[in-house]
Every structure is written in structure tokens, then in C-alpha cells.
Structure 1
Amino acid sequence: MSNKSLTRKQLYDLVWSKPVTHIAKEYGFSDNGIRKICKKYNIPLPKNGYWSKIKFNKKVTKTKLPKQDDNPQITLEKSISVVSGGNHINSQMALRKKELKEIEDLTFTVPDRISKPHKYVTATKEYHKQLKIIRKRGGWSSDVDSSDALNINVSESLVPRALRIFDTLLKVFDKRGYKISSNKKTEVTINGQSYSIRITEKSKRVKREDNRSWDSYVFVPTGRLCLKIDDYSPIKEWADSKTKQLEERVLDILSWLEIRAKKDEEQAIQSALWRKKFEEEREREKQLQALKDNELNRFQQLFDTASRWHKSQYLRNYINEFEKYALDSKTLDSDKQEWVKWAKEKADWYDPFIEKEVDLLKDIDRDTLKPKKRNYW
């Protein structure tokens, strides 16, 4: 069914003529999408059990269409969900495929023979040629330079098919301006997002027919080609089926990649913005913590200095009392006078306002009264 424009009354008659699930299938909507559009335009829907009652010829009540001044035209488009904003992947795929088909110089048909092969196809042919020679000599695949060879892992008879599919796909990538690389793995970069592409052959597990006491299995190639996007989880793949070969999926592959790249690009931008915001917040917290630490250090220095001053005054009071007592008791001899002089010097050394230099205490920290830490480098 093509695009169809309905009035409120026509859509009302439609949803009361058949179940919403049936209408949804006809127009490429989800049934929830139909319900949303009816809610938007104030169109009542049959209640649960309505169609069951109709089936068994039971009496039902039909809700009247509420009146409203405007009479909007409601457009329904198959495969593009107007209700949900066209965000469903199938809707996006249909739209993107339609847009790509309208580009004149894009060819999605895989030819029976390759004309002017892509450079990576040429490199892959040479790689497989050298691989045959090496294997005949009993060598290993690692003995052959695989630079620029496409990521293909199929039976020898399927290599030409895989190359024709890859050649068509690579040429489409080139025309779309996408970067392609092939060094151990084949990658295409779209909107800054890179995806690994490989063509493999489907295999099936077959039980061995032998006399062992336990079951063992081998994987047997099926001849069915499969293209995989390894960077997507779960792995995205297109394969030969009973009704469609991989050669017919080039447009599907390109459409999916472009849609996925756009989504991944948007997510990458959002992630970058989040990381930037996170780093800025972390830097602010770091700077704030540095200010707090500095403030605490300054206070600790203030407290330590005040404590030293208080202790230096305590020392001076003691020294003065000692000297006064010795004078009063007439016991202030030369030894005590020397001690008083020494003690006052130490009080001046300890006092944060004076900090008199004393040669024997140069290596002593005044705050801790312990040797200063030395740097040996």
C-alpha cells in the first residue's frame, strides 16, 4: 500500500473496521504506533475484547468520534513510521535504500565478471596465487605477503564469488568517499567510524563416523557465503539464503553501515562531550582539593609556629626563673652562667620570630626537633 492521506473521520472508521494489529501490518507501523497517532488526534479506539465479541456476534458499544474544530490530514506511509518519528531501524533502512538507489553513479549489482578490478581485489588475487604455490611446496600461509589482501576465508572454488562481491562493495565505498584499508583485516571508515569486514563460508557441525567411545564432530563447509561486520556486537552478518544470495545484499550492507556509522558518530560525540565535562569537573575538584590542602597546610604551619613561639616563651620563663633563683640563693656560679647563656641561645634558635642560627643545629628541623631529610640526588 502506498502513502495514504486520511481525515480524522476516515482514520476513525478505519480503526473501528478492523483490529489495529491488522492495520499496522498494512501500513508498516507497529500497533503501538497506530495507537499513538489516534491518541494524538483524539480518535477513540475499541476497548479490549471488542473484536472477540464481534466474532461471536455479541453486542458491542462503539465510542463516538469527539468533535473538534480543525480537520487535519493524517498521512500514513508504509515502512516509514510517521507516528514514531521514523526511528525504527527498518524504517531507516527503507528510507536510506531509497535515497541510495536515486544516486545515478552508484551500482549495487555484482557482475558475472570483474571489469577494472579494485586495487585490493588485484592484491588479493596475487596473494591467493602465491598461496597456492607455497602450499604445493609444503609451506605455510604466513610465508606469503598478505599486505593489501582482503579478509576472505572461503573454499578455493568460492574465492571468485567473494572477490566479485568485495569488488562491487569497495567501488561503492570509493564513490561514497569512504576510506578503505586492508592490512591483516579489511576496514571501511565512515564518518570517522571504522568497521572490519570479512567474507567467510558458513560451515556445519557433522558427527564423525568412527569407532570411538565418545562423539566427535568436524566442521564441514556448506558453500554458503557470509559477510560479517566484526566491530558490531552481536556480530552483524548477511549470508546466502534459500531466496537471496549475498550478491543481492550490497545495498543492504551499505545502508546498514551508513545508518550505523551515523549513530556511532552521534554516540562518539556525546561520549566526547561527556568525557570533556567529566575531565573539567575532575580538574575543578582537583584544583579545589589543592586549595583545601594548601589552606590546611598553611593552618598547620600557623599552628606549629604558634606552638613553637609558646614553647619558646615557656623556655625563657623557665630560664629567667632559674637565673633569678640562682641570684637570690647566691648560687649563680660560672657554670650556671654559662648554662643560662647556652639556654637563651637555644630559646632564640627555637623562637619563630628570631630563629637564631646555631652551627650544631643546622641539620635539625625546628618543628619536629629531628634531623632534616637529605636529598642524595
Structure 2
Amino acid sequence: MSDKKGLKRKDLYDLVWSKPLTTIAKELNFDAYNLRKICKQQNIPLPQSGHWQKIKHNKKISKTIFPVDVEKDKTIILFLDENGHVAYNPPGKVKSKLKTEIETNKELSLKVPDKLSKPHKYTIATKEYHKAVKIRNKSRNWSMKIDDTNVLSISVSDSLFPRALRFMDTLVKVIEKRGYSFNTSNRTEIVIHDQTYNIRLTEKNRRVKLETNRSWDEFDLVPTGNLCLKLDRSYPIKEWSDTKTTVLEDKLADILVWIELKAKEDKERQIENAIRREKQEKTRQKEEELRKQKEQELSKFKELLSMATRWHKAEYLRNFIKELENNDLKLQFQNEVIEDTIQWAKEKADWYDPLIEKEDTLLEDVDRESLTMKSRRNW
């Protein structure tokens, strides 16, 4: 890696040829789809399908040479955070422009107040809900019904709850001011560009070892007083927390930028996937139609061949009948002499001939192809 802050084209090329893309994505806390997309955009060749299986079984492989680009090779294309993970929206013009737009928007109030002012209906509902929960827990009246309509997902200690409520109240108002919406039917969800993300405000805990006489270790979770906003149902899972130098309230602009860019990225991926599925479906339909045409063609040919075979056999019979006529002979089947042999034989040839198929009462239940009795369900 040529730069501690991130990867350049050659760095990423070396990385994708050193291990599978899915493995790299996990290590960077990134998703393989976007990693593949970046490689395509940067003209970085990737191993073909089956490459790693060949290596596993010590088979011969070929490696595509790195395409040098003097200008592009100077630029970092993947930025890394302090943990070596990819910053989902790396510093750049798009992110900077959006953050500036949000921070300079006078209609947005990014400052979390010290006291609630004109609380949102979700905030009011959440406050009442937590008050009711405390009453129920204190009275131990577990049959008490509590209305959870419009309740925001907040899970913090009582001492931290007022601050958490003010933060969520500000976040909800800002999100709606940006033209997006919330859904609180089952969980707290933000809906942006038709993309839905589950959001939770929690309190960071630390594990504390308990002193016991048991032979195994036991731990307890102790609240730290640090707020943490988590965005579930997204990849990678994202969270923002209080740190030693910054509180969560100061990260509202960064939170908005990340969510909006993530939603835009996911929307583009959704459209790409829809287009790809449509192409796949069209290809499948064409293949299915071709398969049906082939089956129909084969079926028609078999039918033609069968008719030709029957016709040939019928002509064979007629030639045999001519010999009977010339010799004035009678046929004998199963020790029974057929009277009017010639006429009988001609009728049977006409019954069998696919170009005539003369009706025969006694043979109406016989299949002309196999010369066997038809099954009852076909009668």
C-alpha cells in the first residue's frame, strides 16, 4: 500500500489479484459489488470466474497485465479510515459539495437545542411511551397496554433519555425538511429515494467482569453515557457515536451526507440490478422460445418420419396383396382362414396408411403407431 490513507490503482490491482474479492470486501468492511464497480471504472482487470479454484487445485492460471495510466495512477481511489476500512463516501467534490449545501441551508436547524421546542409528533409519542413503560415497570402491572404508535427507536438509560430525545427530534425534523420521510410502524425507518434504512439510537455499553465464586467468567454491561446512532439493514452497517473529542450532536451534517449518498448509491444499484434482471429475463425467454421451437421441429420431424414409415409399410402390404391376387391365395391367421382375403387385406392397408386412415370398427381402440391397444384414459 503506497499511502496509509488509501489505495491507488496499482495497490487495488495487486490486492484483487492476491485474494478473492469477497474476502477483500470483508477485510475493508466494504461491499464486493461496489469494489467490482470501482475496478471497472478505473480499468483494473479482475480474475476471471474459476481463477481461485484453479489456484486451489494447483492448476495453471493466467494474470492480466496491469494497464498503466500515468495520470490515474497518481490518485488515491479508495480512502481508508483509522481502522483500515473503506470510507463509504470518500472525501471528494460530491461529498464536500453536499455537506456545504446542508450546512449553509438556512432552513435546516442542525443545532440540537438544550430544551425541546415544538417537538415532533414522533418525539411526543416516544416521550409518552417511555413514561408509560416506567409506570408499568414500577407497578409491575404487566397486563397494562401501552400505545407504541409513532414511537422512535431509542434505547438508553433514564439519565441519557432527555438528550437522546432532543437529538432524535432534531434528526427527524431535518430529515423531513430534506424531503424524506420516516416510518415507525414496526421499527424506526428512514425512507430516502425509495431506499429504506432501519435507524436506532442506543447507548454504548462496556463489559465489566463480575467477581463470583464460579469457575467461569461472568460479565455485566454497564452504560457509558455515550450516544450511538446505528443504521441497520445497510451494508456496511454504519454507526456514529460520541467520542472523546466530539459529541453525536456535532455529526448531524455528516450523518445526512452519508445517508443521502448511500441512498443514491443503493438506488443506482437497484436500477442496475433491475436492468440486469430484465436483460436476463429477455435472454431466458429467447432461450425458452428457441427450446420450444427445437422441440416442435423435432416433434414435427418424428411425426413426418412416422407417417413415412407407416406409408412405406402400407405400400409393402399392398405389394403383398397384389401377390395374393396373382396367386389366388387366402391368408391364414391363428389357424383361421380369412374369407375374402384380398378385400380384407386392402381395407387393413387403408386403415394403416397415414394418408388414408380408413375407419375400422374393430380396430378403433388400436394405436396405429405402436399397433397396441390404447390406454383406457384415451378411449
Mark yes or no: TM-score above 0.5.
Answer: yes
The runs of 5 or more residues in structure 2 that have no matched partner are 10-73, 80-88
Tell me the distance in 2 between the aligned counterparts of 1:108 and 1:324: 113
Partner of 1:73: none
Partner of 2:106: 104
Larger displacement relative to structure 2 (363-372 or 299-308): 363-372
Tell me the distance in 1 between the aligned counterparts of 2:142 and 2:349: 86
Tell me the distance in 2 between the aligned counterparts of 1:328 and 1:189: 92
**Does structure 2 conserve the Cα–Cα contact (< 8 Å) formed by 1:228 and 1:237?**
yes
Partner of 2:116: 114
Tell me the distance in 1 between the aligned counterparts of 2:139 and 2:182: 33
The correspondence of residues 199-214 of structure 1 with structure 2, limited to 5 A, is 199-214=201-216
The runs of 5 or more residues in structure 1 that have no matched partner are 1-19, 34-81
Partner of 1:237: 239
Q: Which amino acid aligns with 1:175?
A: K
Tell me the distance in 1 between the aligned counterparts of 2:297 and 2:150: 61
**Does structure 2 conserve the Cα–Cα contact (< 8 Å) formed by 1:100 and 1:106?**
yes
Where 2:366 maps in the other structure, the secondary structure is coil
Q: Which amino acid aligns with 1:182?
A: T
Is 1:223 aligned to residue 237 of structure 2? no
Cα 1:308–1:187, aligned 2, differ >3 Å: closer, same or farther?
Answer: same
Which of structures 1 and 2 has the bigger CA Rg?
1
Shift of 1:323: 4.8
Shift of 1:354: 0.6
Cα 1:148–1:372, aligned 2, differ >3 Å: closer, same or farther?
Answer: farther
Shift of 1:198: 0.6
Partner of 1:90: 91
Partner of 1:198: 200
The correspondence of residues 294-305 of structure 1 with structure 2, limited to 5 A, is 294-305=296-307
Tell me the distance in 1 between the aligned counterparts of 2:340 and 2:7: 105
TM-score (norm 2): 0.71
Residue-by-residue CA offset, 1:252-292 (whole Å, 9 max, x unaligned):
11110011111111111111111111111111111111211
Tell me the distance in 1 between the aligned counterparts of 2:320 and 2:267: 78
Partner of 2:249: 247
Tell me the distance in 2 between the aligned counterparts of 1:213 and 1:84: 52
Where 1:368 maps in the other structure, the secondary structure is coil
Shift of 1:147: 2.5
Tell me the distance in 1 between the aligned counterparts of 2:173 and 2:241: 20
Is 1:127 aligned to residue 165 of structure 2? no
Shift of 1:325: 3.8
Tell me the distance in 2 between the aligned counterparts of 1:375 and 1:177: 66
Residue-by-residue CA offset, 1:8-37 (whole Å, 9 max, x unaligned):
xxxxxxxxxxxx97xxx9xxx97959xxxx
Residue-by-residue CA offset, 1:231-255 (whole Å, 9 max, x unaligned):
2223100011111111111111111
Cα 1:344–1:143, aligned 2, differ >3 Å: closer, same or farther?
Answer: farther
Is 1:315 aligned to residue 313 of structure 2? no
Where 1:242 maps in the other structure, the secondary structure is coil
Shift of 1:368: 2.9
What count of residue pairs does the alignment treat as equivalent?
299
Cα 1:301–1:102, aligned 2, differ >3 Å: closer, same or farther?
Answer: same
**RMSD (Å) for aligned C-alpha atoms:** 3.0
Shift of 1:108: 0.7
Partner of 1:36: none
Partner of 2:295: 293
Shift of 1:172: 0.8
Residue-by-residue CA offset, 1:62-118 (whole Å, 9 max, x unaligned):
xxxxxxxxxxxxxxxxxxxx9679996122433321121121101111111111111
Cα 1:371–1:281, aligned 2, differ >3 Å: closer, same or farther?
Answer: same
Partner of 1:262: 264
Cα 1:370–1:209, aligned 2, differ >3 Å: closer, same or farther?
Answer: farther
The correspondence of residues 1-377 of structure 1 with structure 2, limited to 5 A, is 89-91=90-92, 92-140=94-142, 143-327=145-329, 335-372=337-374
Cα 1:95–1:375, aligned 2, differ >3 Å: closer, same or farther?
Answer: farther
Partner of 1:16: none
Shift of 1:196: 1.0
